[in-house]
Structure 1
Amino acid sequence: MFIQGLPEEKGTAFSTYQMIEEQRERIERSRPLVIEQIEVTEQRRRGKIPLAIRSLSSKMKRNPMKRSSKMKIDNNHKLLWNLERTGRRSSVDILNKNSAEYHLNQPQQRPRLYLRSSRTYLVNAYLQPPLESQPGAKYKTNNPWNSIKNAADTFYQFSRPHTVKGTVFSIISVSLLAVEKMSDLNPLFFTKLLQAVIAALLMNTYVVGLNQLTDIDIDKVNKPYLPLASGEYSVGTGVMIVTSSLTMSFWLGWVVGSWPLFVALFVHFVLGTAYSINLPVLRWKRSPVAAAMCILIVRALSNPTTYFLNMQIQVYERPVVFPRSLILATAVMTFFSIVIALFKDIPDIDGDKIFGIQSFTVRMGQKWVFWICISLLEMAYVVAILVGSISPCLWNKVITVLGHSVLATTLWARAKSLDLKSKAAITYRT
């Protein structure tokens, strides 16, 4: 995309964008008067001069501000014509398609401005690589490794990295709770752990992919960088990934032959589908209470219990028991799951308002929901500190109390310094 003859202002992409925006706003403000002048010219050509002049002059008397604007009509009209003729308006449309904050803050996608030293104008300014809001936006190259890297990065964004990391860490943590001695860390343990992680990640891809398929319009406002919202994935590609992930997840859970693992996958499938899919009685994400219950049941109740029992029964062939460590993990995850259910809507308030999603953030405001989440997290740390303080093992007591005290203090300090008005500050992407 080339923009010829734009005057150089501060030599940055953002100043160029601001200049184009100011020109566009001036043109839009004068557009009604430009149209009115065209109508007057047409009436003059048809011999209806008196009526047209009276109509225009009466409007100017009622609104004196239009008198000065009328003197600028010709210049604005010429500017509008020149912008449309040279194709610069297409650049404005592209820049407006997604928020400037997203596009101009990506280091690998910032426009590179090439200057010609003999002139004081930006002669050849083009975007490299193209903006992600355009279909096929990834920078095309003949290098196959770059193509593979771009494809992997797109799928990584589609799978929602924060959910991938949360799933992996939670399964590993609760699986280790079943280990009683070092000899329990045998090859069978790691094999069953890997099977459980892969099956859970496939089911997670189905759930987050289905949510993106049903929220394409909302994500164009809230998360324009997602593959479906940006056009990097078509709807057909999204359906194929979601369907294949669901099939492979259930197949792996069936082949492994672990009923706790299969129960975990089935619960995640049912609640994940009910959360997103737009059918009668379903799409529970429209209700803040139902949405919170879905996340609470999966993250705090189903996952810790079933993946612990998967190791307890399948690997060690022990009876079903619920140790104190599992109860503590479930209690802490209950706090975290409620926070996840509330906090996930804080950066999405704009799109939720437009499409009628009555989340707690829409009803109560970002600031109230944010500090409720921080308070719940601090309560979780206090519970962990109290439980750790009564541990009979000295090292467990020291590590639990000291570690959670540091985490609670760090959380409070970071929360006090956070700017809620900055969407980038409250959005987690990687």
Structure 2
Amino acid sequence: MSQSSQNSPLPGNPVPSSFNWLYAFWKFSRPHTIIGTSLSVLGLYLIAIAISTDAINHISTDAIHRVSTSSLLPVFGAWIACLCGNVYIVGLNQLEDVEIDKINKPHLPLASGEFSQQTGQLIVAFTGILALVVAWLTGPFLLGMVAISLAIGTAYSLPPIRLKQFPVWAALCIFSVRGTIVNLGLYLHYSWALQQSQTIPPVVWVLTLFILVFTFAIAIFKDIPDMEGDRLYNITTFTIKLGPQAVFNLSLWVITVCYLGIILVGVLRVASINPIFLIVTHLGLLVWLWLRSSTVDLQDKSAIAQFYQFIWKLFFMEYLIFPIACLLA
């Protein structure tokens, strides 16, 4: 029996090939962004619920009543639309960066050859259309948020605009979508669905500002491990302009400012949140950040990538910690 026939899945057993395709699709969707998107959808919903319960003094029977099957439909619709939009944006970027990813991220499906260019194009087209259709069926604020996000994501990756070539515009695209458009758009969507006032309360502004600044740190840090491929294909980034050490330090201090700012919010009680929970959790995360950063070797690409994933984990935690602080107020 030939080597190729040994490695091929049996005709009657399509599971291995199906699993391989699903795993490739999972990598194509960039899991860390999928997790971040899912948590933002859930976190903003919990904040909207907290605000809807009598000035969020306590979780009452009204809160339980609101979390019913009908009130969960806007969440499910937002989740599907945002996930599809997420796949469209990261997928389009991979379609345009195949040669660069062969150097920087050879594990991605298009760069490794697991997906053909045509497969990538079909996935991107399908998820982009589905995101808009689901958003249109779910609510006007969600449709606006998704449409704006897709437009910015397209301008980020697609020639001739291709804003990712310019470090300032590239960073602006990333943190404007994740920091501002997603948070405000999701809250307005939930507020509309729950028939609340369309006024954005202070707690949402606090979270939005925190995520906005934090995402800037992510936007500039993500290029540190990709310096080799970016330089080869003339993609100008802050890392290439300033050097990896400077960008690493800048990202670290930006996140530190985020945590100090949120701690100050708790001390001054400028929003309806539980101050003790907010202060203690963010002090703990700040200490963890600095301890973790002291062990990073900038000459080790895998160590940089691991710290980048650690930053994303801190990002994930905020969409859990902040809503809990609102619910505990």
Pairwise TM-score range, normalised by the shorter structure = 0.7 to 0.9
Partner of 1:209: 91
Partner of 2:277: 399
Find 1:232's aligned residue among 78, 93, 114.
114
Counterpart CA distance in 2 for 1:391 and 1:268 is 32
Distance change (3 Å), C-alpha of 1:209 and 1:398? same
Identity across the alignment (%) = 34
Q: TM-score, normalised by structure 2?
A: 0.84
Counterpart CA distance in 1 for 2:203 and 2:273 is 15
Counterpart CA distance in 2 for 1:269 and 1:205 is 10
Q: Which amino acid aligns with 2:162?
A: R
Partner of 1:268: 149
Aligned Cα root-mean-square deviation (Å) = 2.0
Partner of 1:307: 186
Q: Which amino acid aligns with 1:308?
A: Y
| Counterpart check, 1:250 vs 2:135 | no
Q: Which amino acid aligns with 1:327?
A: W
Distance change (3 Å), C-alpha of 1:322 and 1:234? same
Partner of 2:100: 218
Distance change (3 Å), C-alpha of 1:393 and 1:359? closer
Partner of 1:146: 16
Q: What do residues 102-129 of structure 1 show as CA deviations (whole Å, max 9, x unaligned)?
A: xxxxxxxxxxxxxxxxxxxxxxxx9xxx
Q: Which amino acid aligns with 1:292?
A: A
Q: How many residue pairs get matched?
A: 290
Counterpart CA distance in 1 for 2:238 and 2:144 is 30
- Show the 5 A alignment for 1:288-303: 288-303=167-182
| Counterpart check, 1:379 vs 2:260 | no
Counterpart CA distance in 1 for 2:262 and 2:256 is 10
Cα drift, residue 393 of structure 1? 9.9
Distance change (3 Å), C-alpha of 1:225 and 1:140? farther
Find 2:72's aligned residue among 171, 181, 190.
190
Cα drift, residue 188 of structure 1? 2.2
Q: Which amino acid aligns with 1:344?
A: K
| Counterpart check, 1:277 vs 2:158 | yes
| Counterpart check, 1:322 vs 2:200 | yes
Q: TM-score, normalised by structure 1?
A: 0.65
Distance change (3 Å), C-alpha of 1:395 and 1:159? closer
| Counterpart check, 1:364 vs 2:242 | yes
Distance change (3 Å), C-alpha of 1:294 and 1:236? same
Find 2:44's aligned residue among 174, 178, 190.
174
State the SS of the aligned residue for 1:347: coil
Find 2:27's aligned residue among 124, 149, 157.
157
State the SS of the aligned residue for 1:317: coil
Counterpart CA distance in 1 for 2:110 and 2:103 is 12
Q: Which amino acid aligns with 1:409?
A: V
Greater relative CO (CA pairs within 8 A, separation 6+): 2
Contact 2:227 2:240 survives alignment (8 Å)? yes
Q: What do residues 291-325 of structure 1 show as CA deviations (whole Å, max 9, x unaligned)?
A: 011112111111111100111012x1122111111
Counterpart CA distance in 1 for 2:131 and 2:148 is 13
Q: Which amino acid aligns with 1:218?
A: I
Cα drift, residue 141 of structure 1? 2.9
Partner of 2:317: none
> Structure 1: any 5+ residue segments left out of the alignment?
1-125, 131-138
> Structure 2: any 5+ residue segments left out of the alignment?
54-62, 313-329
